[in-house]
Chains A and B, each alone.
Chain A
Amino acid sequence: MYAQMIKTANSGVKPREEMSDQERAFQDKIDADIKIEPRDWMPDDYRRTLIRQIGQHAHSEVVGQLPEGNWITRAPTLERKMILLAKVQDEAGHGLYLYSAAETLGESRDELVRLLHEGRMKYSSIFNYPTLNWADIGAVGWLVDGAAIVNQVALQRTSYGPYSRAMVRICKEESFHARQGYHAMMKMAFGSPAQKKMAQDALNRLWFPSIMMFGPSDSESTHSEQSMAWKIKVKSNDELRQQYIDQTVPQIEYLGLDLPDPGLKWNAERGHYDFSEPDWSELFDVIKGNGPCNTDRMNARVKAWDDGQWVRDGLMAHARKKAARQHAAE
């Protein structure tokens, strides 16, 4: 999911009578579920909003490598190490696909990375939480990827062609992520008392952050309407959150773990689980930069990028020399 609280570039939905002919034709295409492609005409605000959303989504995948990467060298078996490494590698791949989608809108990957590193673009709040014990790796796969996939499945229908196609590929690849997480969680929950304790600890710590991944309630989210009209966003924050909670509670019960929120109760009348309101001030703090890991995550990304500059430059310089030599030989 990883795109959260995206500001639309304008305020409110533009009424049809105020639209130009071009804008009206554009909206008609979207309403008819015709994908918008890179070279099609599009309103500037649509383009800007998409760049912001896809860019944030891409950044989240890449920063999202860090909390799980934290355990690659400590994975307890060779098989777990391979699974985790393959999964974190997938996140890098997903970041790559998404940056590519943003590039079709005329924004280079280097530029997006620069904006991230200067603190002018965000990534999902969830990756500013630490992974403290091995069960966190199970819990991240199960809960965080579980929440992400609820959103990403919906986004396969998003109006922008390259974004939609990236989502299709990502969803296909991600199907193993949540499952491997739950599988690791089962081993912990059904394992020794110490392992079970780790599992409960991970669930308790990551539950509320995971349900906050969907962003604040729609009633408080000022940017949703235009994004919904443009089908950049396909379902509301609250709808997606409820769907995630409904699918996850029975999975917690199967593990025999205590529910992480005493307010989680089946509501037969609504046909959904009730849950306690998360502490939204915490989300806003994390987004403002005051989460437990914001500074470390950003430092790690900036360091990787800066340390890699000579490598990127070196390989590019060699490619240019090689091309010049080939040219001279012809």
Chain B
Amino acid sequence: MKNEWPLWEIFIRGQHGLAHRHVGSLHAPDAEMAIKNARDVYTRRNEGVSIWVVEARHIAATAPGDKGPLFEPSESKVYRHPTFFDIPDDVGHM
């Protein structure tokens, strides 16, 4: 039987209220050890306050070929961005 420990993807939320961010991967026999390993490997410099681990094979991802249909339609929805709207300076900060 192949005995390499599974690969886990590690997500860490830092101090400043930002969302969990992918920081890297590591190997661990199970989720509990993956969390501990993540603590030891990826928070050596006080980087995080919360850790998520996901076994890499459970991550579903977009295929690179789908880039066009998935993401290009949003390029034309400029009205979603605040700079689309011209507000006169007299109105003040908005």
Q: Is the interface of A mostly helix, strand, loop or mixed?
A: helix
Contact between B41 and A93 (Cβ–Cβ < 8 Å)? Answer: yes
Give chain B residues whose Cβ lies under 8 Å from the Cβ of A103: 7, 25
Contact between A313 and B27 (Cβ–Cβ < 8 Å)? Answer: no
A37, A39, A110, A315: the one contacting B29 at CB < 8 Å is A315
Q: Which of B12-63 contact A (CB under 8 A)?
A: 23-27, 29-30, 33, 41, 44-45, 61, 63
Interface residues on A, range: 20 to 34
Closest B residue by C-beta to A169 = B24
Whether a CB of chain A sits under 8 angstroms from the CB of B4 is yes
Contact between A319 and B30 (Cβ–Cβ < 8 Å)? Answer: yes
- CA–CA, A86 to B40, complex, Å? 12
Whole-angstrom distance between the Cβ of B60 and the nearest chain A Cβ: 12
Whether a CB of chain B sits under 8 angstroms from the CB of A28 is no
Whether a CB of chain A sits under 8 angstroms from the CB of B84 is no
Contact between A109 and B4 (Cβ–Cβ < 8 Å)? Answer: yes
- CA–CA, A40 to B4, complex, Å? 26
- CA–CA, A152 to B45, complex, Å? 20
- CA–CA, A166 to B29, complex, Å? 23
Closest A residue by C-beta to B22 = A165
Contact between A315 and B33 (Cβ–Cβ < 8 Å)? Answer: yes
B3, B61, B63: the one contacting A316 at CB < 8 Å is B3
- CA–CA, A93 to B24, complex, Å? 11
- CA–CA, A90 to B40, complex, Å? 11
Contact between B24 and A100 (Cβ–Cβ < 8 Å)? Answer: yes
Whether a CB of chain B sits under 8 angstroms from the CB of A74 is no
B7, B23, B61, B64: the one contacting A41 at CB < 8 Å is B64
Closest B residue by C-beta to A309 = B3
30 chain-A/chain-B pairs, Cβ below 8 angstroms: A37-B64, A39-B61, A39-B63, A39-B64, A40-B64, A41-B64, A86-B44, A90-B44, A93-B41, A93-B44, A96-B24, A96-B41, A97-B24, A100-B25, A100-B26, A103-B25, A108-B4, A109-B4, A110-B4, A166-B24, A312-B5, A315-B5, A315-B33, A316-B3, A316-B5, A318-B29, A319-B29, A319-B30, A319-B33, A322-B30
